[in-house]
Amino acid sequence: MRHRIETTVSNLQGCFSRDRAPILTVESGDTIICRTLDAGWGLDPFAEDAGAKRIPLESRKDPVHDRGHCLVGPIAVRGAQPGQTLEVQLQEIVPEAVGMTWVGEVKEFLPRLGVEEFYGIGWRIDWEGRTARSASGHSVAVAPFLGVMGVAPAAPGVHPTRPPRRVGGNMDCKELTAGSALYLPIEVPSALFSFGDGHAAQGDGEVGGTAIECGMQRIELSLTVRDTPSIDWPQADTPAGWLTFGFDENLESATVIALNAMLDLLVQRLTISRPEALALASVAVDLRVTQIANGTLGVHARLPHNAIT
């Protein structure tokens, strides 16, 4: 079945919580179609009064907790149980015509790069031409994706959207484009999936703290509950290859998590020993810094399709 979600305040949230009532309950295999606002709750960078184009904090469902990225959800998947896996098939991702990039908010390291003041640049996005042009006249290729996709953590309480977790969230992985399947470990009944934070383009690392932040005029994705693969951290099958993710405050620890998951994948898919998996990974798997902008750092290991035959 196909479900259309309207972009209304009642269907949006700015946090993750197992206690939030779902905006919609779907069957495994159903498709969701909707529009998303940008992470800043609808900011239009070209409006004369940009703040007036944003859903104000006091108008959100929970002004105390809905302070994070503007997300559609939570969506319940009937029958989903802890220990299962949620497969998110990304079928269509179409960006809006405007976007924005800001730097200066990531206080941890930007001063060491010689950037201490807040700076923003607007973009016009040409989806037909697959390019975005900045206000200063520079162009970049467009490859849209959602920065935040995740299910509710099992831990009680309200969780901010900024740090990615083992159940997904603000992963900011530029390779999760249309045609990808994202796999998330389910920790709570019904999964409670949320998504948003549209990006028209981003480099690995998201080094300035943001990508081309934009709303999405159309998102189409499907949600399917799987018993396999049984995973502890997110994985994805993308047009570029298989990805395994690791998140931690320490980049080395995040790397170990991502690489361990990739070795598990190689052992299972190729029916080989773990030492052989590491040997093959050493010549065929790429390690990428997913993002350094969210406090909790991200690394993903990528195995290109047909890299090992």
**CA Rg value for the chain:** 19
Locate the domains of the chain by residue range. 2-79+91-159+189-226
CATH number, span 2-79+91-159+189-226: 2.60.120.580
Q: How far is CA 70 from CA 126, 216, 232, 234, 244, in A?
A: 23, 12, 26, 21, 25
The 3-state DSSP class for residue 236 equals strand
For the stretch 29-46, pLDDT in tens is: 999 999 999 999 986 555
Among 49, 74, 300, 278, which residue's Cα sits nearest to residue 188? 74
pLDDT at 50: 47
User: Mean pLDDT in each 10-residue stretch from start to end of the chain (309 residues)?
Assistant: 95 97 98 96 61 80 94 98 98 96 71 76 95 94 98 97 97 98 98 98 92 96 94 97 97 97 96 97 97 92 95
pLDDT at 115: 75
Reported pTM? 0.94
* CA–CA gap between residue 236 and residue 176 (Å, rounded): 8
